[in-house]
Chains A and B, each alone.
Chain A
Amino acid sequence: MTVDASRGAEAPPELVQLLTPEGERVEHPDYDIDLTPEDVRSLYRDLVLVRRIDLEAVALQRQGELGIWASLLGQEAAQIGSGRALTDVDMAFPTYREHGVAWCRDVDPVKLLGLFRGVNHGGWDPKEHNFHLYTIVIGSQTLHAVGYAMGIQRDDATAATIVYFGDGATSQGDVNESFIWASVFNAPIVFFCQNNQWAISEPLEKQTRIPLYRRASGFGFPGIRVDGNDVFACLAVTRKALEAARTGQGPTLIEAFTYRMGAHTTTDDPTRYRVASELEAWKLKDPIERVKAYLFRNELADQAFFDSIEAEADQLGADLRRRCLAMPDPEPLDIFDHVYSEPHALIDRERAQFAAYLEGFER
């Protein structure tokens, strides 16, 4: 089914959709998916819990506990759908907003806060979760992901890499270089672009004159646009693309057509550049509400279920808050740790000098 989800006057884009904003299940010839009621309930749970993590983090920032936070509000379906398509052996490379994918990779949510609270630059072990560290420089990680995928090829492994980036990132040289590399080496990778319509204040029209998914054809691989607020469709499309990557069919670009409902980050003020009606229109496409409607409509869940998820979310939020506040500040001498993996004379000397200097105060 093809529907119009365009933001402005642009021609209607082709969009894979399996669940309408009203919660109605629709068929698609290429991307159908079998989901048990249990699957749907579990997707719903993920969506709700991840939104709660995000809301709690925004609140923590407002209270001065985090320096900044990049909210995923509105992008839950794109992240949970694609994240749940991954298998254990696949590797994910995020930007700084992929809290939902991190959730799918079993990264403890409190670890996501370290970077934003300023206690570290990324507190989880990427190898343990097959979820790379957040990347702040826009587009850089797309090349790392392709290189990693080339490693998978050399290992003769059956696995794929997925890399996340925004619509703004598609203007970066690195993203375009990564498309070229992936294409000429036929790398097992899925490029997952969350087109949330804005790069801080810059609208999509400042990055491109054509729908982003169509870029792929110029690089020699398939591109597909999916309703990024439809968790079923995101799951189905990503699953298929990952399978293609794993079976030697090379890269796919997925454009998840979605919307950043909050501010770019907590320091941003979207009222300066976007009209309120736009947000109102997108609220009607809320990724969580439509799954809820589907569950209700088909009597796959009762009020007790929704209440229990709500209670779980409350608990998760409270737990996240408690553990965020308990996160210890790093020690001053930690500055010198992990700069090099082998001994380094200059670092060793500076550490010793600074330690002696600090001791001077304690005496």
Chain B
Amino acid sequence: MTVLSLSKALNEGMRKAMEDDPKVLIMGEDVGKLGGVFRVTDGLQKDFGEDRVIDTPLAESGIIGTAIGLALRGYRPVCEIQFDGFVFPAADQIITQLAKMPMRSLGAIKLPVVVRIPCGGGIGAVEHHSESPEAYFTHTAGLRVVACSNPADAYTMIQQAIRSDDPVLFFEPKRRYWEKAEIDTTSTDWWTPLHAAKVVRPGAHVTLLAYGPMVKTCLEAAAAAEDDGRSLEVVDLRSLNPLDEPVVMDSVRRTGRVVVVHEAPVNSGFGAELAARITEQCFYHLEAPVLRVGGFSTPYPPSKLEEHYLPDLDRVLDAVDRTFGY
């Protein structure tokens, strides 16, 4: 057992993947000497060299586009997008090329490319450094979209994502980068499959569905609700595409009440997808409509306002109260 922060867990996971497979490359802006602006790739260039940890020019479309070419040549690039708000210059390559090329080739091409995106707010950053763009990509067929929420998952999921023959968008909750946990790096027995959701806290009365940074917030809400005699189940989705429906629906059928929590704006967000699927599959088990807690339909605000924008424990508990009002 070693104690690792989430960012260090990612680092160790990538290191392991690079040791296991010489075709794994890291690429992005500042990922080399600096180790990335969040130091997630710290020390990798020193140990694996500049040909495997590639400091790229400052151009996101170029990062993804050349990663595609490297994957066509048999490499497994792991691209870092520096901040969520800067993935958009790369959106064309991700959506029209990375996601579609395997199908375009009738399966002759595999594109094992991972796109790491530090996402979400809560770190007091300036504009375009705190966004949650996952729904743009869950809407794109051909991509796998996952989000880790804690160090142990970060360690395993990044390795699984790199090993996947499909392109994976890998969301990292940047405000959780410094949280620590004990991790067993010697065994793979405890690994959950990449596509699988996890019940991270069992409960009986309400299901809280969350991923990435909001899992911790939901766990805190569940702990607080216990004092009021309410038992909240927290499900960490981990994978948004594909969604692990059996785990989600099973929980919903047991509790009959659902609150979805994410940082992204509620409007057309991933919560809407969850609400629709749950309604389709669990209609007769529901005691209340599926409620959503998330960002407003506004651009991400200046950081002095972000505490109001970001769902916190009280907003989650308020929604829980409302589900009992039906």
Could you list which residues of chain A lie within 8 angstroms of chain B, going by C-beta atoms?
120-123, 125-127, 132-133, 135, 137, 140, 142-155, 173-174, 177-178, 180-181, 184, 337-342, 344-347, 349
Contact = CB atoms under 8 A, between A and B. Distances in A.
Given A337-B106, A342-B166, 5 more contacts: A144-B69, A147-B71, A177-B57, A340-B166, A346-B243
Contact of B107 (A149, A341, A344): A341
16 contacts: A121-B100, A126-B72, A135-B97, A137-B97, A140-B96, A143-B66, A147-B70, A147-B72, A147-B73, A148-B72, A150-B70, A154-B70, A154-B75, A174-B92, A180-B57, A338-B105
Nearest to A182: B66
Contact of A340 (B64, B73, B102): B102
Interface residues of B, number: 47
Contacts of B59: 173, 177, 180-181
A339 B142 contact: yes
Contact of B108 (A126, A137, A155, A340): A126
B68 A147 contact: yes
A127 B71 CA distance: 12
A56 B56 CA distance: 45
Contacts, number: 144
A137 B75 contact: no
Contact of A342 (B62, B109, B141, B164): B164
Contacts of B124: none
B237 interface: no
Contacts of B92: 137, 140, 174
Nearest to B109: A126
Contacts of A122: 104-106
Interface of chain A: mostly helix, strand, loop or mixed? helix
Contacts of A125: 105, 108
A177 B69 contact: no
Interface of B: 25, 51, 56-57, 59, 61-62, 64-75, 89, 92-93, 96-97, 100-110, 141-142, 144, 164-166, 195, 241-245
A123 B64 CA distance: 24
B166 to A, nearest CB: 5
B93 A132 contact: no
Contact of A180 (B62, B75, B103, B165): B62
Nearest to B246: A345
B75 A174 contact: no
Nearest to A142: B65
A360 to B, nearest CB: 19
A345 B102 contact: no
A218 to B, nearest CB: 15
Contacts of A145: 69
B166 A341 contact: yes
A173 B97 CA distance: 15
A7 B17 CA distance: 55
Contact of A184 (B57, B101, B141): B57
A178 B65 contact: yes
Nearest to A153: B51
Contact of A173 (B57, B61, B195, B245): B61
Contacts of B110: 341
A339 B242 contact: no
Contacts of A132: 72
A133 B97 CA distance: 11
B193 to A, nearest CB: 11
Given A345-B243, A346-B242, A146 B75 contact: no
Contacts of B166: 340-342
